[in-house]
């Protein structure tokens, strides 16, 4: 794709107010592939005004018509599937097969689900002698990260549109080209001018201006817990709605009765996918002491298949690579046993980190507590179920997790006691309608499905 040198505001590409740009780098070969305008508060203000002006008309559009526009948006994205996959590969570094199968495909499922939900959602219900109306919150400021660049945009914009809200998007600075493609698709889908607007730029400048703008009614943020905390504070000060999808340190709990080989193989695949840059990755593998060494050997074998530059891509940036290597060094320094990978760069060019497995990790170690956001798995030993539960729940996070057991009911009983927002039972499949979001410091609110739609609605009751 050819990068736009402006912002998408009010249904057209307009020049930015400032002249600053920032580079987009291909993490696989470290080459600059484009320059994109660095938006300022003035660009954000213009975008919020356009979204505000478009809001009454879009909110008054019949849900079936909004559904038709979302379906058209889905079709526009589907028509550009190859271009999307290539763009994600160019700016995120994901292997093309992953970009096709996940980055360009999952957003279509999500857009589809909201085309259906927009048409079927009960925007009006009777409660005793009242009629309760579900009305759009207003103008949404959406701030997204880079790790699933299109999915995270669609997971916010599609439900916002379904609800009748208008949107200003500030995408991550590493992946603005995918966001520009999305803006083109909204234009092709015939969304009315101003319903969707895009401002590219740096987080502390454009992102902060969007979060602080008084014309924004809801800030929907996905990213790090550190930035989420600040955005929550800003939103609290202004008494405006906020949704936060933050970090994670999820547990893959393998109960003694489980099919160990399957649980370990799927667990390793879950972390290695997207080079470990997945907020819901099961980066802590919990194994009973009796089967511990067997699991460690299985994990070492499984991870060997992830050859850097082939099946596993680089990290998004040199900074992320530095951060992840720092965690690997820390794991070694704190006494964990390295059974695969390590801090050395596996390839000379590109921001690659070797797929890494640590054994003898104790629950208190830094690598068992902090989000690493790289291809690093920690295998932790437990003595009994109570111990496993204490370890699984023993971090500040609670985003996702997995439980494996011979008997589904046994796994479900354990999952019910986990302090986390989503649990896969014996390798459960992705469901675009299942609410996704965090307990504890993993966030506030939910995305996807009807629960995700309700984040963009506020209720009004009429009494008769
Ligand atoms: P980040 O918090 O640095 O950036 C996320 C977004 O916020 C970017 O668009 C960035 O430009 C913007 N931003 C940065 N500073 C800002 C500020 N002061 N004000 C407003 N906006 C600002 O996170 P990242 O490094 O891009 O992403 C990695 C993190 O995101 C990880 O911690 C990961 O777990 C988390 N994540 C969570 C989910 C989830 O659904 N829970 C999904 C993906 C990623």
Q: List the chain pLDDT tens, one digit each, 464 residues.
A: 679 999 999 999 999 999 999 999 999 999 999 999 999 999 999 999 999 999 999 999 999 999 999 999 999 999 999 999 999 999 999 999 999 999 999 999 999 999 999 999 999 999 999 999 999 999 999 999 999 999 999 999 999 999 999 999 999 999 999 999 999 999 999 999 999 999 999 999 999 999 999 999 999 999 999 999 999 999 999 999 999 999 999 999 999 999 999 999 999 999 999 999 999 999 999 999 999 999 999 999 999 999 999 999 999 999 999 999 999 999 999 999 999 999 999 999 999 999 999 999 999 999 999 999 999 999 999 999 999 999 999 999 999 999 999 999 999 999 999 999 999 999 999 999 999 999 999 999 999 999 999 999 999 999 99
Check pocket membership of 230 for ligand 1, CB cut-off 6 A: yes
- Which residue's C-alpha comes closest to atom 43 of ligand 1? 279
Check pocket membership of 48 for ligand 1, CB cut-off 6 A: no
Check pocket membership of 440 for ligand 1, CB cut-off 6 A: no
Residues 6+ apart with CB under 8 A from 8: 14, 180, 183, 186, 187, 196, 197, 198
Q: What's the 172 CA to ligand 1 centre distance in angstroms? A: 7
Check pocket membership of 422 for ligand 1, CB cut-off 6 A: no
- Which residue's C-alpha comes closest to atom 37 of ligand 1? 246
Which atom of ligand 1 has the smallest separation from the CA of 248? 34
How far apart CA 8 and CA 44 sit, in angstroms, is 11
- Which residue's C-alpha comes closest to atom 14 of ligand 1? 203
- CATH fold for the domain made of 6-246+441-463: Aldehyde Dehydrogenase; Chain A, domain 1 (3.40.605)
Residue 100 DSSP class: I
Q: Which two tokens stand for residue 195?
A: 């319903």
How far apart CA 221 and CA 233 sit, in angstroms, is 13
How far apart CA 246 and CA 229 sit, in angstroms, is 9
How far apart CA 342 and CA 355 sit, in angstroms, is 8
Give, in degrees to the nearest 5, the angle at Cα 99 between 94 and 105: 155
Q: Map residue 47 onto helix, strand or coil.
A: helix
6-246+441-463 and 251-431, same CATH topology: no
How far apart CA 296 and CA 378 sit, in angstroms, is 10
How far apart CA 179 and CA 382 sit, in angstroms, is 44
Domain ranges of the chain: 6-246+441-463, 251-431
Listed in order, strand segments (DSSP E) in 289-392 are 337-340, 356-361, 376-382
Check pocket membership of 163 for ligand 1, CB cut-off 6 A: no
Check pocket membership of 102 for ligand 1, CB cut-off 6 A: no
Q: What's the Rg (C-alpha) of the chain? A: 22
Q: Exposed (0-12), middle (13-18) or buried (19+): which is 459, by Cβ within 10 Å?
A: exposed
Pick from 22, 44, 178, 224 the residue to mutate for probing ligand 1's pocket: most ligand atoms within 8 Å of its CB: 224
Q: What's the 309 CA to ligand 1 centre distance in angstroms? A: 25
Tokens 């990290």, located at residue:
315
Question: Which residues are marked as active site?
Answer: 245, 279
Q: What's the 352 CA to ligand 1 centre distance in angstroms? A: 21
pLDDT value of position 2: 77
- Which residue's C-alpha comes closest to atom 40 of ligand 1? 245
Q: Which of 411, 400, 178, 381 is closest to 271 using CA atoms?
A: 400
**Torsion angles phi and psi, residue 129, rounded to 5:** -90, 20
Q: Exposed (0-12), middle (13-18) or buried (19+): which is 312, by Cβ within 10 Å?
A: buried
Q: What's the 227 CA to ligand 1 centre distance in angstroms? A: 7
pLDDT value of position 1: 66
- Which residue's C-alpha comes closest to atom 42 of ligand 1? 279
How far apart CA 386 and CA 414 sit, in angstroms, is 10
Upper half-sphere CA count for residue 417 (Cβ side, 13 Å): 15
Paired residues of 221 in beta bridges: 143, 244
Check pocket membership of 373 for ligand 1, CB cut-off 6 A: yes
Q: How many residues does the chain have?
A: 464
Check pocket membership of 208 for ligand 1, CB cut-off 6 A: yes
Give, in degrees to the nearest 5, the angle at Cα 183 between 273 and 67: 90
Check pocket membership of 217 for ligand 1, CB cut-off 6 A: no
Pick from 106, 145, 154 the residue to mutate for probing ligand 1's pocket: most ligand atoms within 8 Å of its CB: 145
Q: What's the 23 CA to ligand 1 centre distance in angstroms? A: 18
Check pocket membership of 219 for ligand 1, CB cut-off 6 A: no
Q: Which two tokens stand for residue 51?
A: 């979204």
How far apart CA 329 and CA 40 sit, in angstroms, is 38
How far apart CA 363 and CA 358 sit, in angstroms, is 12
Listed in order, strand segments (DSSP E) in 26-71 are 32-37
Check pocket membership of 278 for ligand 1, CB cut-off 6 A: no
- Which residue's C-alpha comes closest to atom 32 of ligand 1? 224
pTM: 0.97
CATH architecture of 251-431: 3-Layer(aba) Sandwich (3.40)
Q: What's the 316 CA to ligand 1 centre distance in angstroms? A: 13
Check pocket membership of 326 for ligand 1, CB cut-off 6 A: no
Query: Could you count the other beta carbons within 10 Å of the beta carbon of residue 229?
Result: 12
- Which residue's C-alpha comes closest to atom 34 of ligand 1? 247
Pick from 154, 223, 281, 399 the residue to mutate for probing ligand 1's pocket: most ligand atoms within 8 Å of its CB: 223
Which atom of ligand 1 has the smallest separation from the CA of 146? 26
Q: What's the 146 CA to ligand 1 centre distance in angstroms? A: 8
Query: Could you count the other beta carbons within 10 Å of the beta carbon of residue 269?
Result: 15
Paired residues of 220 in beta bridges: 142, 243
Check pocket membership of 320 for ligand 1, CB cut-off 6 A: no
């Amino acid at each position: 794709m050819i990068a736009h040198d402006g912002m998408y505001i009010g249904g057209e590409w307009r020049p930015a107010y400032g002249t600053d740009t920032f580079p987009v780098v291909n993490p696989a070969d470290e080459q600059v592939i484009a320059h994109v305008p660095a938006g300022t508060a003035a660009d954000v203000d213009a975008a919020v005004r356009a979204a505000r002006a478009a809001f009454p008309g879009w909110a008054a559009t019949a849900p079936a018509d909004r559904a038709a526009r979302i379906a058209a948006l889905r079709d526009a994205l589907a028509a550009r599937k190859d271009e999307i996959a290539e763009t994600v590969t160019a700016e995120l570094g994901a292997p093309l097969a992953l970009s096709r199968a996940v980055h360009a495909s999952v957003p279509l499922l999500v857009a589809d689900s909201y085309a259906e939900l927009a048409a079927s959602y009960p925007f009006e219900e009777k409660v005793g002698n009242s009629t309760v109306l579900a009305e759009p919150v207003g103008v949404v400021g959406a701030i997204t990260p880079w790790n699933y660049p299109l999915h995270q945009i669609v997971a916010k914009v599609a439900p916002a549109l379904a609800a009748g809200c208008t949107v200003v998007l500030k995408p991550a600075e590493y992946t603005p080209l995918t966001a520009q493609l999305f803006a083109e698709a909204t234009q092709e889908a015939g969304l009315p001018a101003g319903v969707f607007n895009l401002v590219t730029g740096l987080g502390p400048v454009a992102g902060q201006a969007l979060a602080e703008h008084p014309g924004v009614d809801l800030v929907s943020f996905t990213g790090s817990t550190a930035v989420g905390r600040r955005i929550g504070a800003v939103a609290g000060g202004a008494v405006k709605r906020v949704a936060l999808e933050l970090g994670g340190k999820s547990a893959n709990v393998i109960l003694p009765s489980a099919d160990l080989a399957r649980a370990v193989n799927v667990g390793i695949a879950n972390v290695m996918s997207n080079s470990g840059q997945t907020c819901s990755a099961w980066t802590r593998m919990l194994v009973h002491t009796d089967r511990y060494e067997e699991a460690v050997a299985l994990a070492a074998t499984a991870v060997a298949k992830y050859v850097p530059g082939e099946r596993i891509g680089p990290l998004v940036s040199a900074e992320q690579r530095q951060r992840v290597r720092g965690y690997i060094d820390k794991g070694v320094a704190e006494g964990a046993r390295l059974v695969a990978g390590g801090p050395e760069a596996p390839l000379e060019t590109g921001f690659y980190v070797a797929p890494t497995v640590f054994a003898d990790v104790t629950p208190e170690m830094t690598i068992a507590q902090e989000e690493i956001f790289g291809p690093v798995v920690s295998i932790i030993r437990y003595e009994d179920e109570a111990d496993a539960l204490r370890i699984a729940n023993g971090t500040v996070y609670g985003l996702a997790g997995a439980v494996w057991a011979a008997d589904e009911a046994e796994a479900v009983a354990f999952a019910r006691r986990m302090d986390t927002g989503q649990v896969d039972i014996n390798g459960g499949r992705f469901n675009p309608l299942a609410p996704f979001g965090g307990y504890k410091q993993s966030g506030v609110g939910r995305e996807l499905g009807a629960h995700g739609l309700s984040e963009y609605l506020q209720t009004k009751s009429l009494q008769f």
